[in-house]
Amino acid sequence: MKLNALLRSPWVFHLSTGSCNNCDIEVLDCLTPRFDIERFGMLLAGSIKHADVLLITGSCNRQSVERLKRLYEQVPKPCLVAAIGECALSRGMFIHSYNCPEPLDKIIPVDVYIPGCPPKPEAIIAGVVKLIERVKAKT
Amino acid sequence: MTREGVLNDIRERFQSDIIEVLDKSDKRVYIEIKPEAIVKIATHIFRNLGARFNIASGVDVRSHMEILYHFTIDEIGLVVSVRVKLDRSRPEIDSLAPSFEAANWIEREMHELLGIEFKGHPDMRRLLLSDEWPEGVYPLRQDYVEWDEKAIRDRGV
Amino acid sequence: MIYPLYLLYLIVYGFILTAALGLLASWVDRKVTARVQYRVGPPVLQPFIDIAKLLGKETLIPAGASRLPFLAAPVVGLAGVILVSTLLWVNDIYPEKSFLGDLIVVLYLLIIPSLTIILGGFASGNPLASLGASREMKLVLAYELPFVLAVLVPVIKSGFSISIGEILSFQAENGATALSLAGFLALIVVIMCMQAKLALVPFDIPEAETEIIGGPLIEYSGAALAVYRLMKNMLLCTLPFFVMILFMGGLRFDGIHLLYGVLKFIGLVALITVVRNTNPRLRIDQAVRFFWGPMTLLAVIAVELALLGW
């Protein structure tokens, strides 16, 4: 029942762990009135303590691993995680880089992967909606 | 000063230190100099020719190491790149940070990523790499070997 | 023997009716904002679902926060709003039950929600929360002055009576306060102060999202945040209702006046939404200067005109 309410009013929080900011721009486009996400009940949460869905971009470089873990502890559970863009999926073309030792899903549990470099805002919305449908079907 | 004026001035003043001048195009000039003369040439270009210190780039070519200092003269639209070739086994050069503040951070970055030593730099601290990175390992060198055995380098498919 | 009756008033009028109306008013606000921005808005039950979802999340208390004020502040704020709503509804439905001086009680209790936001902000142990709380303090200091001055106008006009029931009966016989010149000026001042009390643009300085990320509520999560949001939404019902009682004759239940009352309420909420959507946010010093300058002057002029009989 509480997951049902969470799926009908997911508040998103945008987090970048060292990206080139292209995916961040696309996530920001998603929140504009053109791709209206308020019809799904989604709002942009200012503080991470108000967040239900984390939209994470960027390949985690060594400095942001520690901070990402601490931020994940501060999100009130239950919480869903969406990895956006190639760098968040598997570090993309930076897979042999000296500064990105581990992919995102070895650090925190990820619920949906949205590929693209960067993914279009329509793709981001479709991905989050698919996540909601899938979690609803599982419960 | 026009473009020709700038080039003639540099050629006359530092005739003994210049190894080669490469007129690449209308907007770019590469001047290769001996490493000992970098401070006086750089301060002359910066202060007397009205240039702005843009950035410096360090490259590890396998035979030697190079540093290029890029100065832009905005009134005539010219980029003067001063090239210095360093010995790969012991790369060291005089620091430009005491002369102008703009060179401070880029020299710190070149030191920690390439291992070039800048003599006389006032504040050689770590700039970009994380705290767990070991000393003496320079990632942008051609012979860099991965030291972290916990790193995951395959996609798992 | 009368205590169960009062408890009934408290729960039904004060809590359930106000919460339902407040959450519906908040939906009207979001839907009108969405339509103005040429997009579809949230569904009707969205504010209810927001509160229900927040009740299901865990409440995290930061290590540097003082536990008791942190957890008690939202509850005290909600209790204050419930009390005010009970008083206003009971006085509106049964005007003979009002007692002498209950206008002062209402004014006094209306400060409690803002106080608890300040308390919660300072109890959070976060510098951004303290910044938001201090801005809220300055805003409260700013708008309380013209608010109290403007509330004097219906008091003067209805024969110097400070009980809400008498103000309502006076307006029932002699027409609404807002139809006179003094009343109209005072209504403008009160609407501006209401916008500031609800912390809506152009006065949402304490919770400026892009500047201080949520302001005093930055460390709240789960059930505590649900109580705060419920308190804010209930204020969206209580404050327009207060303005209606003092200036527009309240909500009368006989025949056509019921429809007029509902239209007045929706009109006030729509006015709040339109002002919210067409204005940028002010800085705190601009807001303080606005309230202590033009608004206080307007309120003083309104009081003078009311004393002269206009």
| Cβ distance of A76 and C217 shorter than 8 Å | no
pLDDT, one tens digit per residue, over A45-88 is 888 999 999 999 999 889 999 999 999 999 998 899 999 999 99
| Under 8 Å between Cβ of B67 and B58 | yes
Question: Cβ of B138 under 8 Å from any chain A Cβ?
Answer: no
Question: Mutate which of C27, C57, C58 to test chain A, going by most A C-beta atoms within 10 A?
Answer: C57
pLDDT at A30: 87
Distances (CA, A) of C87 to A32, B61, C97, C114, C252: 42, 82, 10, 19, 16
CA A39, CA C30: separation in Å to the nearest integer? Answer: 11
Residue C214 pLDDT > 80: no
pLDDT at C299: 94
Question: Residue C112 contacts by C-beta under 8 Å, 6 or more apart in sequence?
Answer: C76, C77, C79, C80, C81
Pairing, β A80-84 against β A53-57: parallel
Residue B156 pLDDT > 80: no
- Model confidence at C215, in pLDDT bands (50, 70, 90)? confident
| Chains C and B: 3 or more CB pairs within 8 Å of each other | no
| Cβ distance of B151 and A103 shorter than 8 Å | no
pLDDT, one tens digit per residue, over B32-43 is 999 998 999 999
Place of tokens 């959070």: C124
| Cβ distance of A103 and B152 shorter than 8 Å | yes
pLDDT, one tens digit per residue, over C260-278 is 889 999 999 999 999 999 9
CA A9, CA C183: separation in Å to the nearest integer? Answer: 42
Neighboring chains of A (3 or more beta-carbon pairs < 8 A): B, C
Give the sign of the dihedral formed by CA A103, CA A106, CA A108, CA A111. positive
pLDDT, one tens digit per residue, over B77-107 is 899 999 999 998 889 899 999 988 889 999 9
A61 min Cα distance to partner chain B (Å): 9
Domain residue ranges in chain C: 3-308
Classify C172 as helix, strand or coil. Answer: helix
| Cβ distance of C50 and A52 shorter than 8 Å | no
Domains identified in chain A, total number: 1
Residue type, C149: L
pLDDT at C96: 81
CA A52, CA A70: separation in Å to the nearest integer? Answer: 16
Per CB-CB distance under 8 Å, the chain B contacts of A63 are 130
Question: Mutate which of A98, A104, A105 to test chain B, going by most B C-beta atoms within 10 A?
Answer: A98
**Which residues of A lie inside 8 Å of C (Cβ-Cβ)?**
1-3, 5-6, 8-9, 33-34, 36, 38-39, 41, 46-47, 49-50, 52, 74, 76-78
pLDDT at C2: 67
Classify B71 as helix, strand or coil. Answer: strand
| Cβ distance of C50 and A74 shorter than 8 Å | no
| Cβ distance of A47 and C30 shorter than 8 Å | no
ipTM of this complex = 0.88
CATH number of domain containing A121: 3.40.50.12280
Question: Residue A39 contacts by C-beta under 8 Å, 6 or more apart in sequence?
Answer: C39, C40, C41, C42, C43
CA A137, CA C139: separation in Å to the nearest integer? Answer: 47
Per CB-CB distance under 8 Å, the chain A contacts of C219 are 47, 49
What is the arithmetic mean of pLDDT over C53-67?
A: 89
| Cβ distance of B144 and A61 shorter than 8 Å | no
- Model confidence at B148, in pLDDT bands (50, 70, 90)? confident
Q: Which residue range is the domain that position A97 belongs to? A: 2-138
Hey, what are A101's tokens? 């030792």
pLDDT at C210: 61
- CATH of region B3-92: 3.30.460.80
| Chains A and C: 3 or more CB pairs within 8 Å of each other | yes
What is the arithmetic mean of pLDDT over A94-104?
A: 89
Question: Residue C66 contacts by C-beta under 8 Å, 6 or more apart in sequence?
Answer: C123, C125
pLDDT at C27: 94
- Where are the alpha helices (H) located in chain C, listed in sequence order? 3-8, 18-36, 46-55, 67-93, 102-109, 112-123, 127-157, 164-174, 181-197, 209-212, 223-247, 256-277, 284-290, 296-308
Place of tokens 């996609």: B155
Question: Residue C12 contacts by C-beta under 8 Å, 6 or more apart in sequence?
Answer: none
Question: Cβ of B155 under 8 Å from any chain A Cβ?
Answer: yes
Long-range contacts, C291-297 (Cβ 8 Å, 24+) = C291/C142, C291/C143, C291/C145, C291/C146, C291/C192, C291/C193, C291/C196, C292/C142, C292/C145, C292/C146, C295/C143, C295/C146, C295/C189, C295/C192, C295/C193, C296/C145, C296/C146, C296/C149
| Cβ distance of B132 and A96 shorter than 8 Å | no
Q: Cα B152 from chain centroid?
A: 33
